[in-house]
Structure 1
Amino acid sequence: MEAGTTRTTDPLVELEFRVRDRNCFFVEMSATLECLVHLEHFVNRSDGRLLEYFTIDGVAPDRVLSTVADAPAISDARLVSRGADGGLFEFVVSGRCVTTTLADAGAIAGTVAAERGTGRVVAVVPPHAEVRRVAETFRDRHPDSELVARRDSDRSIPVRTERGARATLADDLTERQREVLRTAYLSGYFAWPRASTADDCADALGIAQPTFSQHIRAAQERVFGRLFEPSAPER
């Protein structure tokens, strides 16, 4: 699953970390289950927790769910879609997380993955953020990690983050509408057959189902309006 992106004309810096911090649940999970774990998207919930979507390959989905049931960092877990040897999972995360570490330092999680106990995190550092502060903050919060590469990049800022989303939809959607629309999409709410109900999505976001329905309809109206409203004639 590829995340959407948005371009920036200013230079970016990528910092790549090797992570063996077993307090990071995705690293611990990859070691315990001897599998490949890859972050697809994440959403900031209004209660301060994160809603994260991981593709996990090389292990039966039931084993994943039974393992994370005892993980202190994960408040809730759900299988969204089943693959040939794994699947896409939805986790409500309240514990230590590399994505929040990077966000606190002003950076964006470009890649978050782990295999058999070794994690790989690529941080995208925008021009306004301090590269040194990002590196120091990450190593302070995740002691068993090391910076293995720094490189200039012309890559796009991932839209799966709040910063990337604001860059493309800030004039059209409120923050809550973005969260609801993205969660609905990632959860398979728009799929056929539908993988998640409105109740499922509302529970994932920690809101009431009528509130979810209100926001999703408003977000759809704005997006469709932007797509289908006639453009002003060029001069």
Structure 2
Amino acid sequence: MEFEVRDRDCFFIEASGVAGCRVRLEHLVRRSDGKLLEYFTVDGAPTDRVLSLAADAPGIVDARLVNRGVDGGLFEFVVSGPCVTTTLADSGAIARSVAAEDGVGHVVASVPPHVDVRSVVETFRDRHACVDLVARRDADREVPVRTKSGGRVALTESLTEKQQEVLRTAYLGGYFAWPRKSTAEECAEALGIAQPTFSQHVRVAQEKVFDELFDGTDSG
């Protein structure tokens, strides 16, 4: 299913319209406190402009630039306002891609066989303004936003959902970059968890990925 959304209460749609840019969701985590941690790539807008818009947006609790690009960058947002991804999740659908350009959101979602398509559309329209269902296609197995294919899937099969969330958040946040762009404390705060909990998840997840990558070989 593919939707066009013009709900300016959604920050990524509003920002794309006001700043005249393209905004694409890279990763999201639903925190234990109900807020969302979201990573968006922004192309075509000054980073200061994006952060200024976020500071004025009632649904944005916190925002920071993680990685500066040529004309934009990767941003981290803590969100408490309306979000199309949670709307889809609450209705039983899975977001495959979420983006916006010049004030128009484009959302592609897959609907499992046991979920009623009509109820998904109705829920989406109830929660968001100016929603159009522009395409509906039958397809084979769909790939959600946070899932990669091929060898990348094999490397993460042994990880729990929480370990995947923490590891990907750490990666996108620049925790593994040199020099580091985020500390363990900053990543933990973004996820709404304690720093020791974050560090534990990262270490265990790394060990599992390395075991998969190196066939569990013990070099010691």
Aligned runs of 1:8-157 on 2, under 5 Å?
A: 15-154=1-140, 156-157=142-143
Q: Residue in 2 aligned with 1:182?
A: 168
Q: What's the CA shift for 1:195?
A: 2.1
C-alpha spacing 1:198/1:127, structure 2 compared with 1 (3 Å): same
Further displaced range: 135-144 or 95-104? 135-144
- Aligned AA for 1:46? S
Provide the secondary structure at the position in 2 that maps to 1:182: helix
C-alpha spacing 1:112/1:159, structure 2 compared with 1 (3 Å): closer
Aligned runs of 1:175-214 on 2, under 5 Å?
A: 175-214=161-200
Q: What's the CA shift for 1:222?
A: 2.1
Q: What's the CA shift for 1:169?
A: 8.1
1:36-72 C-alpha deviation (Å, 9 max, x unpaired): 1111111221222111111111111011101101111
User: TM-score, normalising length from structure 1?
Assistant: 0.83
Q: What's the CA shift for 1:159?
A: 5.5
Return the structure number with greater relative CO, CA threshold 8 A, min gap 6: 1
5+ unaligned residues in a row in structure 2: which ranges?
148-152
Query: What is the RMSD computed on CA atoms of the aligned residues?
Result: 2.1
1:86-125 C-alpha deviation (Å, 9 max, x unpaired): 1110111111100000000111111211111111111111
Distance in 2, matches of 1:83 and 1:68, equals 18
Corresponding position: 1:222 with 2:220: no
Distance in 1, matches of 2:115 and 2:78, equals 28
1:160-211 C-alpha deviation (Å, 9 max, x unpaired): 16xxxxx978973333322211111111211233222212211111122222
- Aligned AA for 2:185? D
Further displaced range: 95-104 or 198-207? 198-207
| Richer in strand (by share) | 1
